[in-house]
Amino acid sequence: MNKGFFRVVSPREFLALLGRFPPLPTETVDLDTAHGRFLARDVVAAEDLPPLSRAAMDGYAVRAADLFGAGEANPAYLDCVMDVAIGSLPEAPLPPGFCARIVTGGMLPDGADAVVMVEHTLDMGAGTVEFRKFAAPGDHVMHRGEDARAGQAALPAGRRLRAQEIGLLAALGVTRIDVRQIPRVAVLSTGDELVPAEAAPPPGCIRDVNTHALSCLLRDFGAVPLPLGLVPDDQASIHDALARAVARSDAVLVSGGSSVGARDFTLASLAALPDSEILAHGVAVSPGKPTILARVGRKPVIGLPGQVASAQVVMTLFGKPLVEHLAGNPQALTRTPFTYPATLARNLASKPGREDHVRVRLEPRPGDIPLAHPVLGRSGLLKTLLDADGLITIEADTEGLEAGTRVEVRPL
């Protein structure tokens, strides 16, 4: 049997392969439980929001044309014909040459097109108000329909519901919402050398790290982890564990058993499952080359390297996009990841033909972007992750980067 990597793909190809898996089905949830979910379909507003134009400041509603040229040296004077209390409709339209006292949130009377802040006025008594500043149409006004228009999409399908989206839905009276289901991701760790974290490892063994670390990352990404325990390093055990994991989850992560060692059975176990296909065995990144991607039915299975740093880097590169794609984010596999700029502190070498993702520690610099110090070390060491703030990428066609190069740091 050929033990080499037989289907090595580029990072871009790997993300494209993840796109073969469909987003999860839709469910309807209460607004109070929708935070962090992705909309399954457009939300169409049933009404204008605001329903009428409102004041954004305490002051006076005016016709902007009545204050043309007004200023500190040339104040304008208008008579106040009404007070507009919040929660009540104006008594009448605002005639030219007059103003209306209004509070934040109060509805503008017909004819008014601007609000002058109270700080720029002086009540002269007897109903006359001095204006020390001109107004432009729309100043300090929240216009009718500015947040949402009746009959139009207020929020598009695929939008992640943050606090601000939840607030808009509440303002529109939408209390039940269609969202994609939350991905349930099974987590398996393989290897005869592994013992549970609470156990004292005998000589030659180590405590299981990946089950706990990967479960934390999945929660951070918006998934529900299903830790299914440790699996002995034999093909029958791995095959049975994978079959159970696929049956119970929407996606599976299995760490260990993805390289080319004689006792690595993950690949063979996946290939033996019904309706399965190995989509990739190897991805041109470092760390993380031994990564496997398989399809079992309609569900993705990612075989992660057993080395703890490699597994977590691969999760940052591919696990997060997969989870968000399944959860309904239409841009999860194509958008450019968020980064922030830094200056590389030292030269970095790289082998052409693979994309290197180097862990870096950031050193703040007053008045300048931070310095990025590479954190080098073996991919089995946790210290390289503990000391790092993020990753920088050295492209596959590059032999390295020089000190002083501006780099983009992807947060860990």
User: What are the backbone dihedrals phi and psi of residue 347, each rounded to the nearest 5 degrees, phi first?
Assistant: -65, 145
Is residue 222 scored above 90 in pLDDT? yes
pLDDT in tens, 112-141: 999 999 999 999 999 999 999 999 999 999
Q: Note the pLDDT of residue 1.
A: 34
Question: What domains are there in the chain, each with its CATH number?
Answer: 11-25+182-326 (3.40.980.10), 26-49+147-180 (3.90.105.10), 54-142 (2.170.190.11), 340-411 (2.40.340.10)
Distance CA 21, CA 325 (A): 9
Confidence bin at 378 (pLDDT 50/70/90): confident
Residue 261 has a pLDDT of 56
Q: What is the DSSP string of 87-147?
A: TS--SSPPPTTEEEEE-TTPBPPTT--EEEEGGGEEEEETTEEEE-S---TTTTEE-TTSS
Per-position DSSP letters for 273-337, written without gaps between them: STTEEEEEE-BSEES-TT-EEEEETTEEEEEE-SSHHHHHHHIIIIIHHHHHHHTT-TTTTTSPP
CA distance 223 to 181: 10
Question: Does residue 370 register a pLDDT over 80?
Answer: yes
> Of the ranges 144-148, 168-172, 207-211, 262-266, which one carries the lowest mean pLDDT score?
262-266
Residue 380: per-residue pLDDT: 74
Q: Which residues pair with 230 in a beta bridge?
A: 189
Model confidence band, residue 260 (pLDDT cutoffs 50, 70, 90): low
Q: What is the residue-averaged pLDDT of the chain?
A: 94
Residues facing 188 on adjacent strands: 254
pLDDT of residue 3: 47
Is residue 259 pLDDT above 70, yes or no? no
Q: For residue 98, is pLDDT > 80?
A: yes
The per-residue pLDDT for range 181-190, each reduced to its tens digit, is: 999 999 999 9
Which two three-digit tokens encode residue 97? 């040459």
Query: Which SS3 state, helix, strand or coil, does residue 375 take?
Result: coil
Residue 400 parent element (H or E):
strand 400-401
Sequence-ordered alpha helix ranges (H) in 203-234 = 210-221
pLDDT of residue 406: 97
Q: What is the pLDDT of residues 10-67, one digit of tens each?
A: 999 999 999 999 999 999 999 999 999 999 999 999 999 999 999 999 999 999 999 9
Mean pLDDT score, 243-253: 98
305 vs 315: CA distance, rounded Å:
10
